[in-house]
């Protein structure tokens, strides 16, 4: 293979997951690219604007190795353990990458969206993930550049081999279409994300949302994002109905980017039910920030570094936080996102390492 650049990604279907959206956003920022091949683990059509080669990723280390460039090429990997392997340990991919780097001596750049998972010793997955960690230690040793989305993942990767790891937060998977004449409805909140992520948020934030609903601090929740499982949709509806919101709720499902942006521009709050470490790797969180929402999270703490200091805790809302302070935090969060997590910034950081000249 003579392609100057090979990009390996779990998927390319918009809305199917954060890594696919991340890859598509980079391709848009880097366009036009010459002499590039995409190797995709999950079958799916290429984006309409993409004119380069798209091939399925091989299923064995030998097949993957044969797909990698043999003459002066570069490889960029969008690494997601479960995206490449349902057990969370893509052994064949790791072996092929390490072997290619040793043989060809070309440039290998990896963005770690996920690393190994952490299980207690008694869990059956513990041994598998320890093997995964050991394999990644060998892979990181031969990488030319390593990126990841969170400081915690960066620290774990550095401990493998004292490697230099660059932190590049995720971008917003929904661009703010218009900031002019935005009219927000007071006490309305959006819950945006994949179906299982929304359910997890409703479960983790149940006590907080019960209290905020009872105090009429949150009057309506609008759920939106991909998901086609009818059982999960019924469970989501049941969890929302139990909150007894004064203005009810809506389940909008999958919407186009413009429609999602319109919804996010119409509400005041965004609900974030993941943990603190997930802020900088969540496209939904970045969409909230880009749309200047007040993000409600149980772990919000004004004394912590950005972006956590700009979030709003349920107890603060119950204590009567001033509307002016809510507006200030939302604006600060938007500015932080724009300066650190816009796709132009992200594409330039990664593209500069790969010497992609088309990055603006």
What the block records as the tokens of 270 is 């965004």
Per the model's pLDDT, the better-predicted residue between 152 and 270 turns out to be: 270
Question: What percent of the chain shows pLDDT beyond 90?
Answer: 65
pLDDT at 178: 66
pLDDT at 71: 75
Burial of 284 (0-12, 13-18, 19+ CB in 10 A): buried
What integer is the mean pLDDT of 135-140? 94
CA-CA distance, 360 to 349, in Å (whole number)?
A: 11
Q: pLDDT digit string (tens) for 228-265?
A: 899 999 999 999 999 999 999 999 999 988 899 999 99
CA-CA distance, 209 to 296, in Å (whole number)?
A: 10
Residue 217: pLDDT band by 50, 70, 90 thresholds?
very high
- The answer to whether residues 88 and 125 touch, using CB atoms and an 8 Å cutoff, is yes
pLDDT at 305: 92
What the block records as the tokens of 101 is 């780097």
pLDDT at 147: 96
pLDDT at 271: 98
Which of the residue ranges 25-34, 146-155, 214-223 would you say has the lowest mean pLDDT? 25-34
Q: Is the pLDDT of residue 49 over 90?
A: no
- Number of Cα atoms under 13 Å in the Cβ half of residue 65: 15
pLDDT at 15: 66
Mean pLDDT of the chain: 90
What integer is the mean pLDDT of 120-124? 76
pLDDT at 135: 95
Which of the residue ranges 54-58, 117-121, 347-351 would you say has the lowest mean pLDDT? 117-121
Going along the chain from its start, the domains and CATH numbers come out as 5-171+342-354 (3.40.50.2000), 185-340 (3.40.50.2000)
pLDDT at 4: 82
pTM beyond 0.85: the answer is no
Q: Is the pLDDT of residue 208 over 70?
A: yes
CA-CA distance, 152 to 156, in Å (whole number)?
A: 6
């Amino acid at each position: 293979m003579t392609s100057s650049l090979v990009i390996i990604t779990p998927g390319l279907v918009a809305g199917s997951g954060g890594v696919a959206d991340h890859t598509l956003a980079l391709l848009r920022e880097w366009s036009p690219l010459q002499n590039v091949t995409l190797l995709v683990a999950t079958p799916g059509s290429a984006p309409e604007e993409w004119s380069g080669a798209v091939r399925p990723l091989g299923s064995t280390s030998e097949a993957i190795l044969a797909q990698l460039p043999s003459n002066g090429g570069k490889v960029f990997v969008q690494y997601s353990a479960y995206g490449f392997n349902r057990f969370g340990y893509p052994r064949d991919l790791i072996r092929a990458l390490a072997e290619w780097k040793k043989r060809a001596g070309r440039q290998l750049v990896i963005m770690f969206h996920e690393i190994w998972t952490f299980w207690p010793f008694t869990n059956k997955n513990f041994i598998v993930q320890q093997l995964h960690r050991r394999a990644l230690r060998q892979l990181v040793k031969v990488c030319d550049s390593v990126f990841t989305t969170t400081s915690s993942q960066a620290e774990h990767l550095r401990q493998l081999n004292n490697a230099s790891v660059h932190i590049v937060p995720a971008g917003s998977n929904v661009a703010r279409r218009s900031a002019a004449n935005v009219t927000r409805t007071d006490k309305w909140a959006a819950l945006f994300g994949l179906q299982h992520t929304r359910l997890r948020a409703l479960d983790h934030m149940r006590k907080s949302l019960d209290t905020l609903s009872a105090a009429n601090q949150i009057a309506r929740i609008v759920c939106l994002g991909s998901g086609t499982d009818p059982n999960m949709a019924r469970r989501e509806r049941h969890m929302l109905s139990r909150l007894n919101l004064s203005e009810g709720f809506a389940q909008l499902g999958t919407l186009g980017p413009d429609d999602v942006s319109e919804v996010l521009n119409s509400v005041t709050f965004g609900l974030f039910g993941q943990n603190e470490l997930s802020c900088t790797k969540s496209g939904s969180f970045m969409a909230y920030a880009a749309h200047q929402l007040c993000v409600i999270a149980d772990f919000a703490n004004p004394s912590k570094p950005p972006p956590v200091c700009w979030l709003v805790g349920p107890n603060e809302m119950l204590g009567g936080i001033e509307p002016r302070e809510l507006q200030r935090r939302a604006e600060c969060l938007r500015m932080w996102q724009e300066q650190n997590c816009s796709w132009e910034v992200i594409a330039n950081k990664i593209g500069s390492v790969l010497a992609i000249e088309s990055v603006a």
